[in-house]
């Protein structure tokens, strides 16, 4: 009698904890099902009676996107079978237990990623079928699966480029590289929903939603869409760029600690762009999104990065006779550093040999197919000068390979080449080392050693392709063999006489050595050297001069002179950008010869050091005392100091506190309790910003153990954001009463 009764659906268990663990998505939570394509997951179905294969028929329907269809790959219909067949949607390998059916569902390795609805149709023979909703699940790329286009065959690399939710962005200057801790937070509970909302706000989706969804099986397409959506130049993207110095309508790019706050703000404020970002913020947020979606991703910094808009592989810089670096109307620039992403994938759209790391750049620099995005450009193609391969390979090639030509201007006209430097662009290309807090130099992935025959050969090949055969005899190519300063009567160098500190006078030394040249092989020479110091901007320009000095030197053959130069603090106080970089330039003119020489020195002023210590073993749900110490080593007070703490798995969101004014020469001690949320390796990021210095950053790596069994209930975690009541100025160290957060 029971066997003849209709099979009725009662309930379903999506087995989310088990499936998520097996699909490496447990960090996103265990309450809802998040799986990766090309890998089976288990369901438990409960019926009114035992299931009988052969007389009871089950058909599953999975759908994603608007108006899903099987033709577009956004709808799949598949019946229960005894064994899985091929790389297709399937339900198989089932077992029964009284009125329960355990069934394995398989998604193909090229399935469209995104949120899915799952339904089941029940029928007996040719009879009427009944449909029941089973729930929803999210499908992601699967870099653990050898059939997926993002497959990365190394568990160590997968832990770094998918599972690691914190890291470093490298900033500053090629000789003063600083590591900037960043909270990616790709597994915070709501981030995955925000990532798909970003895709749903793209111009591609708005133009043709069904077509857009159908292409979300292709990591090349998805990466390109995300690259466009992180900036907001032609859509309601996540971040609005600002390379000026007025951030009063938003947050300075230097004051972000991580991606989570940015993504949540974008969603909470009606998908309006968050103010403000610059290259490292754009790239770090894109890293969060791509790792969340399942594409192995890292953040890469290129020091002295060319912005070569006219595609001629040279960037011109201009100085006047007084050594002042001059502004130019040209869009070509050399940025102190630029930050982009690399995503790992197969490039089926390219010839063989160009799989692996691909450059994606979400910073809005130029349009690609009419939209502000960049990439993916194969790193291997960049190294080999194959600039004809998509996407945007010529632009990225120039960023790391362009030549710099430095001109001396007289009366507004370029009169003399001071230097033609073939080695100055694309320096110290860096990313975080796998499994380490150290920096890894990956310059050799992008180009052959500077000046090597291979590097020059690739450069000539790329230049011919970019300039075209009709311009093979251009003045640019004629310059390639030149060395503007090879035959000079003296060698000039600028050195720092002591470590530069913000708030202190800067002491430099000019080293001048007389060497033979064709005009005066051994005789003495007289030099007039004009020096100029200017604040160096991130995008390669400078502010007006803040210091000048002129030096007269007599040099006999073989003689070496060391001439001291003093740049007083009062000259640069309140005249630098937030990044605290100074360029000191010198133009030396040889009397009676009419020839000029250039000497340069860039100086980075380090902010005060931030110390972070934790008192004991970190454990989920148990108070962890954190000690933060900052000494103001400057000659001036730091006013309106704001502290922001962030760290996925340690803090839900952010903790912020106004800590008042820190007087010159004094120390502030801050203690607070955290209540870790997740086990495993975590990183606490601390930012203290002030009116004078925007970026005093520190971090502490913390390993969180599972909670030990205890009869006492755990203390609840503090609220996401603490009140920001200003504290009084702190003229000297003192101790306040013990509290969840106290300052001394």
Please name the residues in contact with 167: beta carbons below 8 A apart, sequence gap of 6 or more.
181, 182, 184, 287, 298, 299, 432
- Is 246 an annotated catalytic residue? no
Please name the residues in contact with 672: beta carbons below 8 A apart, sequence gap of 6 or more.
625, 626, 628, 645, 655, 740, 741, 742
610-614 and 624-631 as β-strands: parallel, antiparallel, unpaired?
A: antiparallel
Give the DSSP H or E segment for 138: strand 130-140
- Is 420 an annotated catalytic residue? no
- Kindly state the tokens that stand for 664: 């010159």
Please name the residues in contact with 472: beta carbons below 8 A apart, sequence gap of 6 or more.
464
Catalytic residue, from 235, 361, 403, 419: name it. 361
CA distances from 104 to 11, 57, 82, 140, 143 (A): 16, 16, 10, 18, 21
- Is 132 an annotated catalytic residue? no
- Kindly state the tokens that stand for 350: 């390219």
The C-alpha atoms of residue 454 and residue 459 are separated, in whole angstroms, by 8
**Eight-class DSSP state of 162:** I
* CA 369, 373, 376, 380 torsion-angle sign: positive
Angle at 152 between CA 151 and CA 153, to 5 degrees: 110
- For the chain, give the longest Cα–Cα distance: 117
Please name the residues in contact with 706: beta carbons below 8 A apart, sequence gap of 6 or more.
619, 620, 679
Catalytic residue, from 23, 24, 235, 279: name it. 279
DSSP β-bridge partners for residue 514: 490
3-state secondary structure of 317: strand
Give the DSSP H or E segment for 229: helix 219-230
3-state secondary structure of 235: coil
What is the distance between the terminal CA atoms of the chain, rounded to a whole angstrom?
79
Number of H helices, E strands in the chain: 14, 40
Catalytic residue, from 24, 173, 307, 338: name it. 338
- Kindly state the tokens that stand for 528: 């007039």
DSSP β-bridge partners for residue 47: 9
Angle at 522 between CA 520 and CA 526, to 5 degrees: 60
The catalytic residues are: 279, 338, 361
């Amino acid at each position: 009698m029971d066997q003849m009764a209709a099979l009725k659906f009662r309930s379903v268990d999506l087995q989310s904890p088990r499936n998520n663990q097996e699909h490496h998505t447990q960090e996103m939570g265990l309450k809802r099902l998040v799986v990766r394509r090309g890998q089976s997951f288990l369901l438990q179905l409960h019926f009114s009676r035992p299931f009988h294969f052969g007389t009871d028929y089950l058909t599953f329907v999975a759908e994603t996107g608007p108006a899903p269809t099987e033709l577009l790959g956004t709808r799949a219909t598949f019946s229960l079978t005894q064994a899985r067949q091929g790389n297709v949607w399937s339900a198989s390998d089932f077992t029964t237990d009284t009125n329960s059916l355990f069934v394995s569902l398989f998604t193909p390795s090229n399935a469209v990623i995104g949120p899915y609805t799952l339904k089941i149709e029940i029928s007996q023979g040719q009879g009427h079928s009944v449909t029941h909703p089973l729930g929803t699940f999210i499908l992601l790329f699967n870099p653990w699966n050898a059939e997926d286009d993002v497959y990365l065959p190394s568990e160590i690399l997968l832990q770094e480029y998918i599972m690691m939710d914190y890291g470093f962005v490298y900033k500053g200057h090629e000789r003063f590289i600083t590591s900037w801790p960043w909270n990616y937070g790709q597994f915070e509970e709501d981030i995955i929903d925000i990532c798909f909302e970003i895709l749903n706000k793209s111009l591609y989706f708005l133009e043709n939603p069904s077509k857009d969804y159908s292409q979300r099986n292709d990591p090349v397409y998805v990466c390109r869409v995300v690259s466009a959506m992180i900036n907001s130049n032609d859509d309601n993207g996540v971040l609005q760029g600002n390379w000026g110095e007025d951030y009063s309508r938003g947050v300075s790019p230097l004051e972000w600690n991580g991606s989570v706050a940015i993504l949540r703000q974008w969603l909470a404020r009606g998908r309006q762009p968050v103010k403000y970002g610059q290259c490292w913020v754009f790239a770090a947020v894109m890293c969060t999104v791509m790792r969340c979606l399942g594409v192995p991703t890292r953040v890469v910094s290129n020091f002295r990065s060319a912005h070569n808009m006219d595609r001629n592989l040279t960037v011109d810089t201009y100085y006047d006779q007084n050594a002042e670096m001059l502004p130019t109307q040209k869009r070509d620039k050399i940025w102190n550093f630029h930050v982009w992403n690399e995503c790992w994938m197969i490039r089926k759209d390219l010839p063989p040999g160009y799989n692996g790391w691909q450059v994606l750049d979400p910073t809005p620099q130029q349009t690609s197919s009419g939209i502000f995005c960049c990439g993916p450009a194969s790193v291997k193609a960049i190294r080999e000068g194959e600039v004809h391969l998509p996407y945007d390979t010529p632009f990225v090639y120039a960023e790391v390979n362009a030549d710099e030509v430095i001109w001396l201007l007289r009366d507004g006209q370029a009169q003399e080449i001071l230097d033609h430097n073939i080695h100055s662009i694309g320096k110290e290309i860096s990313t975080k080392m796998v499994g380490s807090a150290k920096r890894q130099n990956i310059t050799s992935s992008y180009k052959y050693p500077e000046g090597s025959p291979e590097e020059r050969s690739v450069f000539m090949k790329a230049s011919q392709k970019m300039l075209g055969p009709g311009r093979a005899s251009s003045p640019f190519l004629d310059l390639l063999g030149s060395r503007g300063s090879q035959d000079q009567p003296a060698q000039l160098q600028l050195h720092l006489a002591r470590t530069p500190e913000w708030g202190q006078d800067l002491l430099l030394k000019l080293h001048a050595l007389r060497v033979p040249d064709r005009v005066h092989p051994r005789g003495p020479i007289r030099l007039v050297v004009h020096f100029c110091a200017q604040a160096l901007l991130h995008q390669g320009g400078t502010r007006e001069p803040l210091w000048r000095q002129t030096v007269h030197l007599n040099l006999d053959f073989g003689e070496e002179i060391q001439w001291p130069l003093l740049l007083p603090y009062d000259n640069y106080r309140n005249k630098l950008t937030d990044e605290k970089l100074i360029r000191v330039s010198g133009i030396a003119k040889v009397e009676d010869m009419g020839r000029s020489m250039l000497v340069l020195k860039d100086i980075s002023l380090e902010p005060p050091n931030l110390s972070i210590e934790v008192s004991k073993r970190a454990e989920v749900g148990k108070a962890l005392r954190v000690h933060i110490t900052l000494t103001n080593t400057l000659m001036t007070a730091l006013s309106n100091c704001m502290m922001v703490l962030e760290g996925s798995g340690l803090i839900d969101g952010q903790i912020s506190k106004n800590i008042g004014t820190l007087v010159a020469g004094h120390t502030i001690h801050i203690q607070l309790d955290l209540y870790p949320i997740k086990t495993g390796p975590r990183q606490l990021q601390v930012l203290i910003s002030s009116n004078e210095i925007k970026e005093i950053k520190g971090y502490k790596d913390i390993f969180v153990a599972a909670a030990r069994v205890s009869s006492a209930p755990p203390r609840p975690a503090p609220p996401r954001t603490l009140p920001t009541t200003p504290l009084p100025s702190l003229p000297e160290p003192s101790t306040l009463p013990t509290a969840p957060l106290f300052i001394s």
